[in-house]
Amino acid sequence: MIISFRAKAIIGIALIEAVLLSILIISVLSFLRDSNQQQLLRHAKTTTSTFAAMSADAIISHDLDRLQSSSISLCHNPGIVFVRIIDEQQRILIQSGSIEALQAPFVINADLNKTTSNVFNASQAIEAGGVKYGSVQIGFDISYLEATLSKAEHWSLGIAGLEMLLVALFSMTLGSYLTKQIAQFTQGAEDISRGNVGKQLRVKGRDEIAQATKAFNRMSLAIKESQDSLEDQVKTKTAELNQANNKLRHLLDEQSTLLDNQSVGIATVQDRKIVWCNPAFLNMMGYDSLDQLLGHSTRQFYLYEADFIDMAQAYQALADKHVLRRDFQFVRKDGRTIWVDLNGSRLPSEHQSLWVIVDVTARVEAQAALGRSEIKFRALFESTSEAIFLLDDNGLADCNQAALKIFGCQSKQQFCNITAADLSAPSQPCGSDSTPLLKQQFALAKQQGSLRFDWLCKRLDTGELFPAEVLLSLVQYDGQTQLLASVWDVSERVAMMQEIEQQAKTDYLTGLCNRRAFIAFAERELEHARRYKKPLAILAIDIDFFKKINDNYGHNVGDLTLQKFADVCNEVLRESDLLGRIGGEEFAILLPETDAHQAQEISERLRKSLSDCRVTLPDTAVSIHFTVSIGITLFAGGTTDIDDLLNRADTALYLAKNNGRDQVVMGEFVAGL
């Protein structure tokens, strides 16, 4: 179904108006309801307080006749449904007003919206000299409020309906005007599409549509001018393109000459088949022309099938713009094998890659000769800074000087007379004994060819344990297969990681645990308390007027205040208690196995110690003091979590602040069933 522009304009404007009217009506009604409720609450509070004060003397003197007269007079006031006076034992002394309302259960109302009838119940204690003698209960009629609100709703809906009708009429008129202008634009565009370039529309008025019409006319003229000059531009661009093609052809000829004269082989491969190669590659592999290789698989070059498969897997993992480099043995046309260095990268064309092939046979043979040379091997063996030793079937066969230094051994003879287990801790961090675990690592290294793992080692001279990283490599030496072990002492790295982990749990300024560490520890303690049915207390602490300290003395004094706070708390609290900085000047304390009395005593002692301490300003003899507010909550069983306990402690803390600060408030807690 196609909706016209006129319909869209009507619907759009109507929807906007409906939303705005709804917001206005809801806001006005909400304001009326809130205003009436606030007025009723003030009236109820004033009336009950005044009547309670007037009734105090009469109750003290047991003048019930006076109370009865006062209650009857009060019930004559409009809006008062009933009046009841009860003593401290909840016995009715005097009551007047509606019998039906007096017989209903009395529930104190705090919210007009939650009343179950047209009566709003209010109560006020009757006190004199700090002694409570009873309370006054008064019911207020709220039926007139509901009637007022209902009348306001009907009037609002009527006005809204009338306004929506006017908006619909206005929208229809506006839509008709706009669609006429759009039809003119549509006709003009169709004329241009049929080749009537330069079409001009009639301009009416000076509004935005007139401006758009003028812009359409300018566009039409511009299109005509562009069409007139297009042929000249095409001729010019064609000449430039021909010139660029000539330059490109010249560059390609130069590139071809450059590639053909390279001393290394270059080949283009698509789907692992030769697409092109330079003469250097043909000569390297013993072929006479490109036709002998064109379209042939590159498998014919690899000496081993496994190398061909390995290269395919490595290429699949190759990302764009990355280069793959490997050494392989290739087979020439005459059957002779050579070592080549392959460098490959992807080309923009699909499934194509470019390869640079270098004959490295001489280098590989030199490396093999180096591997067979005892002198060169020994130089490399002794020059490295990590501990290196050889293991054969008989045990430790050789080691370098670095191994003697790291493991605290005096000579190679001593080193070779011990076993690898003597260089290890009795057991590893995983809990396994070192000797059988070491045999498993040796077997795995021989099976895989190499193996890297972490190990807890031991010095021979002091027996000191230290963490290490071990690399076992299977090598050929002196005509037999041996394991070459490389050991790195990673004590500094482990210490650094531990320090980083500690910093992640500690507040940098106070040295206390941070919020994350406090929550983690508190959750464990809460689970322990729940499992063994132990009491537990949480304290929320806030430094009073901390912002004023920062504003008046600077943030450096604020930092000193936080540090002083931490020092005093650490002196007062028990070793089993946990103090954490939750944020800013807010702290939390967890007191394991602590009941309400103990928590109150510890909190008061802590508050007093903090109030007595002083913070000396830098470079002066002036000192300041500060106070704290403390909120307490207790865990006495149940399924509550640590976040709920912290929230309860915060609620008690805010109550302490609202009551004047520098005090301890015991908050509510829920005992387990």
Look up residue 120 and give its two tokens: 């709003």
Q: Quickly name the fold that domain 262-367 has.
A: Beta-Lactamase (3.30.450)
What pLDDT is recorded for position 178? 64
Assign 332 to helix, strand or coil.
coil
CA distance 315 to 542: 62
Assign 206 to helix, strand or coil.
coil
Return the top range by mean pLDDT from 112-121, 211-220, 660-669: 660-669
CA distance 579 to 26: 49
Look up residue 353 and give its two tokens: 């890659």
In contact, 529 and 535? CB cutoff 8 Å: yes
> Nearest CA to 484 among 472, 497, 493?
472
CA distance 165 to 614: 74
> Nearest CA to 137 among 110, 171, 106, 180?
106
What pLDDT is recorded for position 350? 66
Assign 489 to helix, strand or coil.
strand
What pLDDT is recorded for position 65? 79
Assign 543 to helix, strand or coil.
strand
| Dihedral sign (CA 147, 152, 153, 159) | positive
**Quick one: DSSP state of residue 443?**
H
Beta strands at 628-635 and 664-666: parallel, antiparallel or unpaired: parallel
What pLDDT is recorded for position 568? 95
Residue 136 scores a pLDDT above 80: yes
CB within 8 Å of 371: residues ≥ 6 apart: 377, 476
Residue 236 scores a pLDDT above 70: yes
> Nearest CA to 642 among 550, 493, 525, 503?
525
What pLDDT is recorded for position 597? 94
At 434-478, the pLDDT tens digits run 999 988 988 998 888 888 888 999 998 888 999 988 899 888 776
Of residues 178 and 645, which shows the higher confidence score? Answer: 645
**Span 91-105, average pLDDT:** 82
At 278-312, the pLDDT tens digits run 888 888 899 988 888 888 998 999 999 988 888 88
- 68's enclosing H/E stretch is helix 64-75
Alpha carbons within 13 A on the beta-carbon side of 514: 10
**Span 496-508, average pLDDT:** 74
Residue 129 scores a pLDDT above 80: no
> Nearest CA to 9 among 185, 127, 150, 169?
169
Residues of the chain with CATH 3.30.450.20: 5-149, 262-367, 384-494
Q: Which of 231, 585, 601, 668 is catalytic?
A: 585
Q: Quickly name the fold that domain 384-494 has.
A: Beta-Lactamase (3.30.450)
Compute the C-alpha angle 358/361/367, nearest 5°: 120
**How far from the centroid of its chain's Cα atoms is residue 10's Cα?**
46
Q: Where are the alpha helices (DSSP H) in 76-142?
A: 99-103
Residue 253 scores a pLDDT above 70: no
Of residues 132 and 591, which shows the higher confidence score? Answer: 591
Residue 390 scores a pLDDT above 50: yes
Ramachandran sector of residue 130 (left: φ over 0; alpha: ψ -120 to 50; beta: rest): left
- Across 362-393, b (16+ Cβ under 10 Å) vs e yields eebeeeeeeeeeeeeeeeebeeeebbbbbbee
Q: How far is CA 332 from CA 308, 329, 474, in A?
A: 15, 10, 31
Look up residue 652 and give its two tokens: 């008690």
CB within 8 Å of 313: residues ≥ 6 apart: none
What pLDDT is recorded for position 603? 95
CA distance 58 to 70: 10
CB within 8 Å of 483: residues ≥ 6 apart: 390, 391, 392, 442, 445, 446, 472, 473, 474, 475
CATH of 506-666, one of 3.30.70.270, 2.40.37.10, 3.30.70.890, 3.40.190.10: 3.30.70.270
**Span 87-103, average pLDDT:** 82
Helices H / strands E in the chain, number of each: 18, 21
Please give the torsion angle defined by the CA atoms of residues 159, 165, 171 and 174, in that order, rounded to the nearest 10 degrees: -100
Of residues 87 and 550, which shows the higher confidence score? Answer: 550
In contact, 372 and 388? CB cutoff 8 Å: no
Mean pLDDT of the chain: 82
What pLDDT is recorded for position 260? 56
In contact, 65 and 165? CB cutoff 8 Å: no
- Please state, as a whole number, how many other Cβ atoms lie within 10 Å of the Cβ of residue 528: 13
Q: Spell out the long-range contacts of 471-477 with Cβ–Cβ below 8 A and sequence spacing 24 or more.
A: 472/441, 472/442, 472/445, 473/445, 473/449, 474/445, 474/446, 474/449, 474/450, 476/371, 477/377, 477/390
Burial tier of 120 (Cβ tally within 10 Å: 0-12, 13-18, 19+): buried
**How far from the centroid of its chain's Cα atoms is residue 199's Cα?**
59
Of residues 26 and 404, which shows the higher confidence score? Answer: 404
| Residue type (1 letter), 142 | I
Assign 4 to helix, strand or coil.
coil
Transcribe 377-440 into DSSP letters: HHHHHHH-SSEEEEEETTEEEEE-HHHHHHHT-S-HHHHHTS-GGGGB-SB-TTS-BHHHHHHH
In contact, 565 and 510? CB cutoff 8 Å: yes
Sheet strands (E) in 218-336 = 265-270, 273-277, 323-331
Residue 250 scores a pLDDT above 70: no
Q: Quickly name the fold that domain 5-149 has.
A: Beta-Lactamase (3.30.450)
What pLDDT is recorded for position 225? 75
CA distance 627 to 281: 86
Residues of the chain with CATH 3.30.70.270: 506-666
237 phi and psi angles, rounded to 5 deg:
-65, -35
Share of the chain above pLDDT 70, in %: 84
What pLDDT is recorded for position 673? 32
What pLDDT is recorded for position 672? 43
Beta strands at 536-543 and 92-97: parallel, antiparallel or unpaired: unpaired
**Span 607-636, average pLDDT:** 92
Residue 216 scores a pLDDT above 80: no
492 is a catalytic site residue: no
In contact, 648 and 540? CB cutoff 8 Å: no
What pLDDT is recorded for position 383? 63
Place 664 in a pLDDT band, splitting at 50, 70 and 90. Answer: very high
